[in-house]
Structure 1
Amino acid sequence: MFKRKKWLVPALVLLVLLSLTAPALAVEIRNGDNVTIPAGALKGPLFVAGNEIVIDADVDGDVFAAGQTVIINGNVNGDLLAAARTIRINGEVGGDARCAAQDIDLKGELGQSLTAAASEVRQLDGSRVNRDALIFANQITVSGTVGRQYLGAGGTVRLNGAIGNDVNLWRVEDLRLGPAAVVGGNLYYGAPHEATVASGAQIAGTTKWEYLEPKTPTQRQHRGFNWLGALAWFAAGVLFWGVLTLISPGIWNLLSQNMRQSPGHSFGWGLLLLLITPLVILLLLITVIAIPLSLILMAAYLILLYAAKIIVGDFIGRLLAARFGWAGRVNSILPFLLGFALLLLLTSIPIVGLLMSIATVCLAMGAAFLAIYHWRQGGTQLEH
């Protein structure tokens, strides 16, 4: 008896997105395979997740992509939101591009602005951003054109292209302007030393350098494990699991099935939702009439973030039960307690724990997304 209230939390988070994605979801959904959208016209919005994603199609609408590698060869008549290890934009994007990756290459043209966070961002020769660029990266190379402002911060910034207006770098360790660099406005930057400006570089306005102390490695104080906080979190998680089990026992099995059968899809869609849901909330806040929906969506999003470790902890417990033959022999709460405790311990490890926490959130959100998607397609039932 899975009433509406029993799946309200994930449904609210995904309601707006699902209403937009139904046509696009049928384009490409493969678990663990490379995803290629062939050349031709495609009506968006397009949501795609996979290991290696290649979009050769011309998409009339927004594109949302998450994977190991994302390559855009076609033209996008809308915005691009991408999260991956490597992102290559070879075609034209009519709107904005918002990207998070390890390295990003822009070879094509953006009709609006570029926002990027990465280890390395390269704007190649011949590329163009018609409006503003906001970049945060360790290595930044600009050989193309930016129509208006160039903003951001980075380690090493090499500017050898044309910027239509001001350049404002809040912090940079090493700034170099090549002989082809053109700054149409002012140059403001904070750095430990002055920029290296090659002969031939042009700065139309004023140049202002703010001295910043060089970054020095700091020794972090070791903090002991917060056992009281961990026990409180553990108890709250067990209570949450128990209440939802009483309301609908089958929901945990359904979520675990999605993670077990489609781990790649669960992670990819979860990463995409983790990134785009705040954007959807922000867009809804802009329109006064949609403010109540945005607040509900925000609450549901936060609840899913909270429940992520509980969902994945249950999944780990079920894996352990299957591995050691506990299924049907012990109460289901015992494997959950073990899996949840193990996950809490692993996510408390410095650095590694942060990465595991992010992966946990992605898996949980993706599993919830797939559960509702399959239900909408008339496949897996939510009534258990």
Structure 2
Amino acid sequence: MKKILMLLLALFFIASACTAATFINGNNIIIPASKIIKGNLYVLGDKIQIYGEIQGDVYALGESIKIKGKVKGDINAAGKNLEITPLYANDLRLAGDNISTRGKIYNDIIALGRNISIKNQVISDVFVRGEVLYIASYTKIGGSLNYSADKVTISRKARIAKIIATPIKKTTCPTSTKNCFSSIAPSCNGILIINFIILMIFAGLFIKFAPNQIKLISKSILTSPLKSMGWGLATLILTPVIIVILIPTLIGIPFSIILIFFYVLMIYLSKILLGFSIGEWLIAKLNKKGSKKSKKTKGKQYHPFFVFLLGIVVYHILIVLPILGGILHFLGLILGLGALITTRFVTYAQARKKGIL
């Protein structure tokens, strides 16, 4: 079950290039039924309601998410309460506390949460991991239902081609550390999906509001990798030392809290920026190779979001390699972190003079 989920998550990143994108953020977001959005939709808010037609993929992150319109692409959503009932959609990838789905799904459903209710016509497979699972009457699954849950209710009127159940082992932390980690594995899978969705939303915000900064940081990584690694390693080591020094002092407590926040944020953003850089490097190599065969392929441009997806997929494939993966993960961390530091503080003035920023 876990291997299948991981494979599908990897394939999820390999998407076609985006031709258009719409970014919306706010507290209460409502897209009326009369609204038609061309291309992909990225939504970040507390309460999200989508009733219109989306002619691309949907990426939503919020407290409460309701989708009832037509979606020609995939639906990717993470939040506390999810009510995903489109007339139709391609794939559903959901992570939340309470999840309810309905509608025609042309490919797969991947759902991780606490309470999950499914009443769909699914052409392919359904992968579910949670505490409570309910398969409603008249649900049709053309492929297999792969689930792992504490409590499962499957209606007799549901039509499912194949059912694969993975039991959850009940363990307690005091018996064994290994058993403790295995008992929280379902939660880790949910966190993984949420993390991936957040990564894509942040990447979309970068593309929308800071495209020039992405170019500048990618250039720093590709042209001065050793310099970036040096700054990244220094930041990674020295920042915790500074925090430890500041915490005992009364005046230093608020500064240490702010420093911790920015430290964690920069580490997280470094992965996104590294994804852009790897994607740009790969596409440059492909264009160079293609130019030798045909002049038409020389200098072919791709949407920045496709560049990010390509780069982040390759990066995640590399860091799961045995032994070498851990080393590459660490090098990627200090490389991205260092490029972020040098670009922001060292080359900022130069970029201003050249009109890049």
Q: What TM-score do you get using the length of structure 1 for normalisation?
A: 0.45
Larger relative helix fraction: 2
Computing the radius of gyration from Cα coordinates, the structure with the larger value is: 1
